[in-house]
Amino acid sequence: MNRFCLPVVCAALFASASNAAEPYQDSVAPFVRAHCTKCHGPTKQSGDFRIDQLQAEPADAEKWQLVRQQLRDGLMPPAKEPKPDPKKTQDVVQWIETELAKAGKTVVKPQPQYGNEQAHDPLFDPANAKLPASTPARYWRLSPYIYKQYMVKQHPAGNNLVSPFNLLPGSGFKDYALPQAIDEPVAALLWLNAEALVSARFKIDPKTGKLDKPQYKEIGEAFDDTIPLTDARLAKIVTEEFRKVLGRVPTPTERDRWADQLNKNVAAGGRAVGVRMTLTVLYLHPEVVYRKEIGEGKPDAHGRRMLAPRELSYALAYALGDKAPDPALSKATDEGKLATRADAARELSRLFDDPKFEKPRIMRFFHEYFGYKNAVNVFKTDAPQGTHDASWSVADTDMLVADLLARDKNVLAELLTTQEIYLTTEPFFNKNSKPH
């Protein structure tokens, strides 16, 4: 008897899956019988893995993850076995993901560096091109580039701070939400950077004993023991620092909570220590090191939610550059003019066409996609004096990419097939040099 028993005991693992048996009987059970139990059933257990004895228990969650991964990536069934219909495979994978999610079990996503291991048939199926696109809801840790620009914007001293973040090693795309995390060493460096930034922003004038060059009246008064720290001053400080640090005003609840904490810190440590400590903690706020892409409102027919206007403003700004939304984008957000696809397209076109808006992510994309920036590592010796070295070749290719982008016609196809090159210096090899 086949003991692939999810329909029977799924309530134990999939507590909310009362209707799980029907799709299981229709799609999963036939698929398993046809493609899995021959090698992972009662008579044979390849890799010491038996699928027909998996139980609907938390202890087997990792094994279900493995089944999902093997099917999703096209690693099972093996090549010598009959190939299952891609749609049926996708149905089984989706069923496992749905039931795991209902049970609150983490669905392990593929690491981006293994993207080429994804099953190519469903990936390049023309029918899938018509499916609605979306990304999972996520908190996305800032890249080192964005973090650097943020710290410099806070104070010029931010240019001297060490970024605690890194990107994926190796070739390919570097900046993904999935593998980025904040561990203890990163948290410690974030704290040191916050302290350094606050110290740079709030220096005490040794002659007067007061805050040197206060950015607004109330913060100067906060460092002056002779001026009472009233509720109004506390609220003003919290509001102005939220604007400075987080790029938004606090909610009434946030304002009151931070004002209360600021008052307590001042009472415990004095004006200078209390204010600096409170604002140091503000620089550790999740919105300083993460950007949110959760969405809001009711899901559409496909389960997708539009990004909230503030989320969308940062997504647009970071799609092209490393800086937070510019004033025009922030204004559109505040005025309710960043709530539709048309709004997003309008603002993205404006940013793209604005020569003053720096767009380093565009060229960075092509560096990572094609990997041609690694040409500087190919040559084992320096090029002869006056010849065209590898770094110039990278710059020349950048010019070619920029030119094809400006033409804006079949850009990817042109980049993959063009016979054009740019030479901004004399030819790569002259009569006195030899190929490396």
The 3-state secondary structure of 78-97 reads: CCCCCCCCHHHHHHHHHHHH
pLDDT in tens, the chain (436 residues): 333 333 322 322 333 333 445 666 777 888 888 888 888 988 888 888 888 777 656 677 788 888 888 887 778 888 888 888 878 888 888 888 877 877 777 666 666 766 666 667 767 778 877 888 888 888 999 999 999 999 999 999 999 999 999 988 888 888 888 778 888 999 999 999 999 999 999 999 988 889 999 999 999 999 999 999 999 999 999 999 999 999 999 999 999 999 999 999 999 999 999 999 999 999 999 999 999 999 988 888 888 899 999 999 999 999 999 999 999 999 999 999 999 999 999 999 999 999 999 999 999 999 999 988 888 777 666 655 555 566 778 888 999 999 999 999 999 999 999 998 887 655 444 444 333 3
Residue whose pair of structure tokens reads 């600021």 in the numeric block: 262
Q: Alpha helices, DSSP H only, in 247-389? A: 252-269, 271-282, 286-289, 309-320, 327-334, 341-353, 360-370
Query: Is residue 241 within 8 Å of residue 259, measured between CB atoms?
Result: no
pLDDT at 100: 80
C-beta separation of 307 from 315 below 8 A: yes
Q: How far apart are CA 196 and CA 213, in angstroms?
A: 17
Residue 7, pLDDT score: 30
What is the C-alpha separation between 11 and 19, in angstroms, rounded? Answer: 10
In the chain, % helix, strand, coil (3-state, to 5) comes to: 55, 5, 40
345: its two tokens = 């397209």
Cα–Cα distances in angstroms (integers) from residue 90 to residues 73, 104, 105, in the given order: 10, 21, 19
206 HSE (CA, 13 A, CB side) = 0
pLDDT of residue 431: 43
**70: enclosing H helix or E strand:** helix 61-72
Q: Of 227, 249, 226, which is closest to residue 236 (Cα–Cα)?
A: 249
Distance CA 64, CA 334 (A): 45
The pLDDT assigned to 9 comes to: 28
Which segments of 173-297 does DSSP mark as H helices, in order?
A: 184-201, 217-222, 231-246, 252-269, 271-282, 286-289
Helices (H), 321-432: 327-334, 341-353, 360-370, 390-407, 411-417
Closest CA to 279 of 182, 153, 185, 154: 154
Instruction: Give the C-alpha separation, 296 to 256, whole Å.
Output: 25
Residue bearing tokens 């916050």: 194
pLDDT value for 5: 33
The predicted structure's pLDDT at residue 425: 56
CA–CA distance, 28 with 95 (Å, rounded to integer): 8
Element (H, E) at 123: helix 120-123
pLDDT at residue 261, as a whole number: 97
Report yes or no: 97 and 110 within 8 Å, Cβ to Cβ: no
pTM for this entry = 0.75
- CA–CA separation, 10 vs 375, rounded Å? 54
- Between CA 49 and CA 71 the distance in angstroms is 14
C-alpha separations of 6 from 26, 42, 95, 100, 230 in Å: 13, 17, 11, 12, 63
Q: How far is CA 11 from CA 6, 67, 321, in A?
A: 9, 20, 48
